[in-house]
Amino acid sequence: MSKIMMLAAMAAAAASPASAQEVQSTPAHSVEGNAIDIGDLGVTLSVPEDAVYLGAKRWALHGVADAELHAWVQADEGGLVEQFWWVQFEEYLPHVPDAHYQYDETEPTSVELGGLTFWTRPMFGEGNPRQLREGSDSEAFRGLVAEAGYRMPMWLAMVRMVHLPTEDRRKELMLIHGANLDGVGMTMAEAYQAEKPGVTWEELYGPMVERAPTAFTVESAED
């Protein structure tokens, strides 16, 4: 869920006389190997076989959405994450009836995966932000990483892909593929400090978006 959508939904929830509903802690989707069967979409989503599954978490995201997160990583011998795969299911809760996801209006591009449209955005960020919003999906993801004994890199390159499966846009399937950007980040920082031209973030966007769909495989469950 983007920050703008989350704040709007939280404001609506605060104005509603209804209280936030309980969300079951048991994940609704099971993982077999490195694949998730998504029955309501009729597809199976999978990540590379050598990715390590960290587990899942289901909770009430900021009290407005039923969220379920699954995570996988590839790491070096020291436990530093080199790549990760983040799969998240979300659905707004009934006490925010007017809330809906707007990725089809806000995201710059889209890609097709298994016949499904995913609205796509490349992102760069810190692997270990000093502050994480309590109860956020970023906190939940990093919690799974830490509990499994892994460490996040200093800098990350990520592509977020979001599919809206229903016409009312109250559900989302979010996929994030991320990679360790420490080497590139340091090179860019050194070039900047030396007042020399270097690789810019914008130059990395195109290749990132092109590679992102290959990080996940989406196939018909009937195949």
Among candidates 147, 161, 160, 155, which has minimal Cα distance to 129? 155
Q: How many residues does the chain have?
A: 223
Which pTM value belongs to this model? Answer: 0.85
> What span, in angstroms and rounded, lies between the C-alpha atoms of 10 and 119?
23
Query: Which pLDDT does position 170 carry in this prediction?
Result: 97
Q: Is 168 left (phi over 0), alpha (psi -120 to 50) or beta?
A: alpha
pLDDT digits (tens, 9 = 90+) for 95-138: 999 999 999 999 878 999 999 999 999 888 889 988 899 999 99
Q: What is the domain extent for residue 199?
A: 3-220
Query: Which pLDDT does position 19 carry in this prediction?
Result: 41
Helices (H), 65-130: 103-106
Query: Which pLDDT does position 124 carry in this prediction?
Result: 84
Query: Which pLDDT does position 1 carry in this prediction?
Result: 57
Query: Which pLDDT does position 210 carry in this prediction?
Result: 81
Query: Which pLDDT does position 151 carry in this prediction?
Result: 97
Q: Which residues of the chain have pLDDT under 70?
A: 1-21, 183-204, 223
Query: Which pLDDT does position 159 carry in this prediction?
Result: 92
Q: How far is CA 126 from the centre of its chain?
A: 15
* Sign of the torsion angle spanned by Cα atoms 115, 116, 117, 119: negative
CB 152 within 8 A of CB 143: no
Query: Which pLDDT does position 212 carry in this prediction?
Result: 83
Count of the separate structural domains present in the chain: 1
